[in-house]
Amino acid sequence: MIKKRIIIILTMIQLGILALAGRLVQLQLVSTESFHGVNLIEASVAQRTEQLVIDNGRGMFVARNGEPLTYEYIPTLVLFPFLKKMDWPIDQIATIVSIRKETIKRQLETAKGPIILHDGQQPIQLQPWQMERINDLCIPGVIAVHKQYELKQKYAQHVIGLLGENEKLLKERYGDRKLSQKTKIGVSGLQSSFDEFLIPDGETKLLYHVDARGEPLFGMDVKYTEQANPFYPITVQTTIDRTLQQRVEQIVAQHGMQKGAVVLLDVKTNDVLALASAPAIDERDPYKDGAMENKALLPQVPGSVFKVVVAAAALEHGLIHGQTFNCDQKINGEPEEKKRGMRTFEDSFAISCNRTFGELGKQLIAIDKNVFETYAQKLGLLPRVGWEGDVYHFPSFRPLHEEKKGNIWGDERDKHIPLAVAQTSIGQKDVRVSPLAVANMMATIARGGEAKQVRIVQKMMYKDGTTFFAFDEKRLTMDSLRKETVDELQQLLQLVVTHPEGTGRSFQSLPYAVAGKSGTAQTGKNDVVNKWFAGYFPADRPKYALVVVQLETTSSAAVTNSIFADIVHATYELEQKGRYQE
């Protein structure tokens, strides 16, 4: 009996030892990188290492002139906590950085890890000569470095996009590639589009190993580690003008536009200089009120802005000469509240007479059922307008991957229904185009009829500044309007502002002459409308194409024209100061 008990006890002990051994094998060999969601190797190294990350290793975005849009690098002084237990030339350092040594001591006393020396609330910013003198002293634990900081001022958040930790998405994108589960990846905007190029290959950091008491394990040597590949991380140079972007965002906020978009293009290059979407993103709750949506890239009801397409088609089909239109009537023949009498085509465009374009639309559809699609594409309005092309192993790469296609017809049978045709002709019914596409249409006309793809990125650069890939200017279509048609469209767009009854006459006093087209689109919600103004300036030598749309507002509350006018003023002022360079 006793022997049997001994055998049972020994067996249980052996089983316990085997279970413990199995657990150790699992921890040490099998699940080292994923044990209940924890990377044991990382955790073990972190436990015995004091470190300061200098650069997270992810590529960055810069503006067209090189100013940072995501991170900046500040020359700072790093101090390691073991300094408080040793005698070191603190007086020399205090003299070089022009700060009292008591301040340095006080910050070291409370340090539990490597610290950046601060003066008040801000890190001390060193001059090149200060960095050189400090590092020449070769004091263990005292190192001058350029440390990466996230910009406090956010620029073009909807364009640049956000980063986030998403283990599932990380695995979907990168499979078995060895990346920390805490690696941040792009979840929207350019951060998402360029994620493959920007994903970090490793951090740049200062570190030293410690024992259980926090004492240096291998002497006072501080190691500097960085990515093994000297060409990375990549920098993405956008087309954004940082100063213009900041002013546009300030103007949108000042006028309290709750939902809408602004797009400002360089007419010559078709580059995005500024792009804003409202509401702004609150990083604490980015999905609140649909703020993550970039309204500039999503199709919206354009209203009378679409009349530009009908006008172009009517001009090229010779329907204008000799016709006058009864602007006392609506498109369905009912009386208009505001009597405007019989009008010419030119007058009708300036005052935005719906009856005129309803009639022209029906005449055009009778000639060609696809006439609207044809001319919308010639004008650079459809289907998508953002840059697209092959980038290494990415076929049809689209930096603005969130841009959606526009649309004119919801049902092909509507082309045979006169009222549906008339409604479509004035940008209602199922017509949907993005503010980016409307800006592209205005730039196409301003440029003389050449439709280009819209660029948001100029190039990607290696760490040493050499070009990794250039996003060259590209035609959107080779099918263009006649020069005579473009000339007449330019005159019509100017007439909207110069005509005494023109819908854009409030812009006559601006420092630049403006050409453009207004739009008030019914959204199907009582008096709720989309309020547009799309145009370019200066009208006689176009440099900028600008679109402002306020979504889901009322005509009386709309701030569209005020925002448009203020952006024109801001652009003029910056040019006078020589800020914006062609």
Q: What is the pLDDT of residues 497-530, one digit of tens each?
A: 999 999 999 999 999 999 999 999 998 778 899 9
Is pLDDT at 47 greater than 80 in this prediction?
no
Q: Out of 68-77, 204-213, 299-308, 396-405, which region has the weakest mean confidence (pLDDT)?
A: 204-213
How many domains, the chain?
Answer: 2
Decide if 106 is inside a domain: yes
pLDDT at 55 over 90: no
Q: Name the helix (H) or strand (E) containing 528.
A: strand 528-537
Confidence check: pLDDT of 223 > 90: no
Mean pLDDT of 524-540: 93
**Residues 221, 305: one domain?**
no
Distance CA 483, CA 473 (A): 22
Residue from 443, 466, 469, 465 nearest 457 by CA? 469
- Model confidence at 31, in pLDDT bands (50, 70, 90)? low
Q: Give pLDDT tens digits for 103-118.
A: 999 998 988 888 899 9
The residues annotated as belonging to the active site are 304
- Residue 129 domain flag: yes
Residues 266 and 308 in one domain: yes
Is 534 a domain residue? yes
Same domain, 253 and 212: no
Same domain membership, residue 302 and residue 214:
no
- The reply to whether 237 falls in a domain is no
| Burial tier of 461 (Cβ tally within 10 Å: 0-12, 13-18, 19+) | buried
Is residue 96 domain-resident? yes
Task: Decide if pLDDT at 37 tops 60.
Answer: no
Roughly how many angstroms between the first and final C-alpha of the chain, as a whole number? Answer: 99
Is a pLDDT exceeding 90 seen at residue 247?
Answer: yes
CB 489 within 8 A of CB 475: no
Q: What is the mean pLDDT of the chain?
A: 89
pLDDT tens readout for residues 234-246: 999 999 999 999 9
Task: Give the pLDDT of residue 134.
Answer: 93
216 and 333 share one domain? no
Proportion of the chain above pLDDT 90, given as a percent: 68
Can you name the residues that pair with 220 across neighbouring β-strands?
218
Where is pLDDT greater, at 49 or 235? 235
Are 411 and 473 members of one domain?
yes
Positive/negative CA dihedral, 235, 241, 244, 248: negative
Whether the per-residue pLDDT at 177 is higher than 70: the answer is yes
If you write DSSP's letter for every residue of 151-219 in order, what string do you get?
Answer: -SS---HHHH--EE--HHHHHHHHTT----TT--EE-SHHHHHTHHHHS-S--EEEEEEB-TTS-BSBT
CATH number, position 381: 3.40.710.10
| 372 three-state secondary structure | helix
Average pLDDT over residues 256-261: 96
pLDDT at residue 212, rounded to an integer: 58
On the question of pLDDT at 219 being above 60, the answer is no
Q: Determine the pLDDT at residue 195.
A: 94
Domain identity same for 504 and 535: yes
User: Of 208, 99, 201, which is closest to residue 143 (Cα–Cα)?
Assistant: 208
Full domain range(s) for residue 408: 242-283+297-576
Does residue 230 sit within a domain? no
DSSP state of 369: T
Q: What is the pLDDT of residues 5-17, one digit of tens each?
A: 777 777 778 877 7
Rg (CA), the chain: 31
Q: How confident is the model at residue 210 (pLDDT cuts 50, 70, 90)?
A: low
Between CA 294 and CA 317 the distance in angstroms is: 37
In the predicted structure, residue 32 carries a pLDDT above the cut 60: no
pLDDT value, residue 218: 45
Residue 158 lies in a domain: no
Q: What is the DSSP letter of 413?
A: G
In a domain, 4, yes or no: no
Asked whether residue 334 falls in the same domain as residue 216, the answer is no
Mean pLDDT of 454-459: 98
CB burial of 17-53 (b: ≥16 within 10 Å; e: otherwise) equals eeeeeeeeeeeeeeebeeeeeebbeeeeeeeeebbbe
